[in-house]
């Protein structure tokens, strides 16, 4: 039956009604528009028989709504982002929305470029899941795109005038470092993320704050990383050469933490006996390392869902808003008390701060 493109004109002809009637029947909102049952039936029959499918581009052009949203991420192959996307997809597809994705590899230029292209599609909404890249050209693009009426929602802290799903990066980092302190660790290294990424910076701030609260600011040790598995692997030799009594590593994300685990195994350092390791994010792989990784759980799918729901809300006329998702600790096998015979006691004051 259906050969080539079938348009409403064909349906109109086949069912003996006008174009507008066909359009009305197909518009969906049954209650709103009055149509005789007979007409309706005939149109639907023709649609079925000819295998008609509406041309979304045409619909978009005239209605201004494309039923599509775009998601910008650093890398879709990173489980952190693919989990978020899955959450987005789940709520999008329930409303028959299509999802466009774009990996920008943390390149501001590509981010701006992608943003512009997606907006000119035009998509109805754009979710910036790429995580707070602080770059001027990106913010310029965002502002310019906002004027066209697209809804934009950012995930993680942004200096942008858009709705935000805020992840408690700083607080989560503070909590997990406190967990290490509670276990008795005093020399905790921090493996940092890429510069100019608010997500990474906030986690680092949480680390520093936890140490400061415990009066241990002088014990800070920050090793530069970039969120990649390899950064984790390579950090180990660097760390071991430091000639400092490090007993725990806090990697700014799970991928690096997993790299650390591998690096430590290679170096013959037992985890958690000789070294505790923690990450951030709780990507699925964190459960299957050996030992399983202690980390900060971000409800990644939920984050995606919230972002998408916020897009829909704004599309329905609501104003922008800042929501936040709570993180929690997933205490697993990669952390244990440090290997010291006589653990340094905390001063009373410090204990109070840490436990609060």
Residues of the shown chain interacting with a second copy in the complex, contacts defined by CB under 8 A: 2-5, 51, 53-58, 60-61, 66, 68, 75-79, 82-83, 85-86, 89, 93, 96, 98-103, 116-122, 144, 147-149, 229, 258-259, 261-262, 265, 284-285, 287-290, 292, 301
Nearer to DNA, 40 or 219 (CB): 40
The window from 3-11, 108-116, 158-166, 286-294 that contacts DNA (CB under 7 A) reads 3-11
Taking the complex as a whole, the smallest distance from the CB of residue 352 to a second copy amounts, in Å, to 38
Min dist CB 65 to a second copy, Å, is 10
For 282, which DSSP code?
-
Q: Residue 208 binds what, of DNA, a second copy, none (CB under 5 to 8 Å, by partner type)?
A: none
Task: State the binding partner of 322 from DNA, a second copy, none, CB within 5 to 8 A by kind.
Answer: none
Tokens 């528009």 label which residue? 33
Sheet with 276-281, edge to edge strand ranges:
221-223, 188-191, 248-251, 276-281, 294-297, 328-330
- Structure-token pair, residue 254: 């799970």
Q: How many CB atoms lie within 10 A of CB 102?
A: 18
State the pairing for strand pair 294-297/328-330: antiparallel
- Phi/psi-derived region of residue 99, left when phi > 0, alpha when psi is between -120 and 50, beta in every other case: beta
**Beta-bridge partners for 127:** 71, 153
Rounded CA-CA distance 198/205 in Å is 10
Residue 299 as a binder of DNA (CB under 7 A): the answer is no
Task: Give the Cα separation of 32 and 14 in Å (integer).
Answer: 25
Residue of the chain from 2, 45, 48, 63 that contacts DNA (CB under 7 A): 63
Tell me the C-alpha distance between 244 and 208, whole Å.
Answer: 18
Could you tell which of a second copy, DNA, none binds residue 103, using a CB distance below 5 to 8 A set by kind?
a second copy
Nearest to 263 by CA among 282, 235, 242, 223: 235
**Pick 30 or 195: Cβ nearer DNA:** 30
Which residue, 26 or 285, is less far from DNA as judged by CB? 26
| Residue closer to a second copy, measured from CB, 5 or 356 | 5
Least distance to DNA, CB of residue 2, Å? 12
Told to check if 116 binds DNA by CB under 7 A, we report no
The owner of tokens 């829909």 is: 312
Q: Which residues pair with 314 in a beta bridge?
A: none
- In DSSP terms, 222 is beta-bridged to 190
CA separation for the pair 352, 294 (Å, rounded): 24
- Quote the least distance from Cβ 309 to DNA, whole Å: 23
The partner in contact with residue 7, picked from DNA, a second copy, none with C-beta cut-offs of 5 to 8 angstroms by kind, is: DNA
Stretch that binds DNA, among 60-68, 282-290, 325-333, 337-345 (CB under 7 A): 60-68
Q: Which of 2, 18, 242, 324 binds DNA (CB under 7 A)?
A: 18
Q: Return the one option of a second copy, DNA, none that residue 270 interacts with (CB less than 5 to 8 A, by type).
A: none
Q: Closest Cα partner for 92 from 291, 241, 307?
A: 307
| Selected binder of DNA within 30, 33, 217, 343 (CB under 7 A) | 33
Quickly list DSSP for 316-335: TTPPP-EEEE--EEE--TT-
Residue 265 touches which of a second copy, DNA, none (CB < 5 to 8 A by kind)? a second copy
Burial of 339 (0-12, 13-18, 19+ CB in 10 A): middle
| Residues linked to residue 279 through DSSP beta bridges, in sequence order | 295
- Based on the shown chain and the rule CB under 7 A, indicate whether residue 45 belongs to the binding site for DNA: no
Number of residues engaging DNA in binding (CB under 7 A)? 30
Contact partner at residue 340 from DNA, a second copy, none, CB < 5 to 8 Å by partner kind: none
Reading the block at residue 224, the tokens are: 């530069």
Helix (H, G, I), strand (E, B) or coil at 259: helix
Q: Which listed residue (13, 44, 49, 59) binds DNA by CB under 7 A?
A: 59
Distance linking the first and last C-alpha atoms of the chain: 71
Rounded to a whole number of angstroms, the minimum distance from the CB of residue 55 to DNA is 3
Contact status, residue 252 vs residue 280, Cβ threshold 8 Å? yes
Binding site for DNA (CB under 7 A): 5, 7-9, 16-21, 23-24, 26-27, 33-36, 38-40, 52-55, 58-59, 61-63
């Amino acid at each position: 039956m259906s050969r080539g493109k079938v348009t409403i004109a064909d349906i109109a002809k086949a069912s003996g009604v006008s174009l507008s009637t066909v359009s009305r029947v197909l518009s969906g909102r049954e209650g709103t528009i009055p149509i005789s049952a007979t007409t309706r039936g005939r149109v639907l029959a023709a649609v079925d028989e000819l295998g008609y499918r509406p041309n979304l581009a045409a619909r978009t052009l005239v209605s201004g709504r494309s039923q599509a949203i775009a998601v910008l991420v650093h890398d879709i192959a990173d489980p952190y982002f693919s989990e978020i996307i899955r959450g987005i997809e789940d709520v999008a597809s329930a409303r028959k929305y299509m999802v466009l994705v774009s990996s920008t590899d943390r390149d501001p230029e590509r981010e701006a470029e992608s943003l512009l292209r997606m907006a000119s599609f035009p998509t109805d909404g754009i979710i910036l899941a790429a995580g707070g890249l602080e770059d001027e050209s990106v913010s310029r693009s965002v502002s310019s795109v906002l004027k066209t009426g697209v809804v934009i929602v950012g995930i993680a802290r942004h200096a942008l005038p858009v709705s935000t799903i805020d992840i408690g990066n700083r607080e989560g980092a503070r909590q997990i470092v406190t967990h290490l302190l509670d276990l008795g660790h005093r020399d905790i290294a921090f493996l940092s993320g890429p510069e100019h990424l608010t997500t990474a910076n906030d986690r680092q701030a949480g680390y520093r704050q936890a140490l400061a609260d415990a009066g241990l600011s002088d014990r800070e040790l920050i090793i530069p990383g970039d969120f990649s598995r390899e950064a984790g692997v390579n950090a180990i030799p660097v760390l071991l050469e430091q000639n400092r009594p490090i007993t725990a590593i806090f990697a700014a994300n799970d991928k690096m933490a997993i790299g650390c685990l591998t690096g430590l195994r290679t170096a013959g350092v037992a985890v958690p006996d000789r070294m505790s390791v923690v990450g951030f994010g709780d990507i699925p792989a964190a459960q299957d390392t050996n030992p399983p990784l202690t980390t900060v759980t971000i409800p990644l799918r939920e984050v995606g869902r919230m972002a998408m729901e916020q897009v829909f809300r704004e599309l329905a006329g609501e104003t922008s808003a800042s929501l936040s998702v709570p993180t929690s600790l997933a205490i697993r096998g990669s952390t244990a008390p440090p290997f010291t015979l006589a653990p340094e006691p905390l001063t009373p004051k410090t204990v109070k701060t840490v436990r609060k």
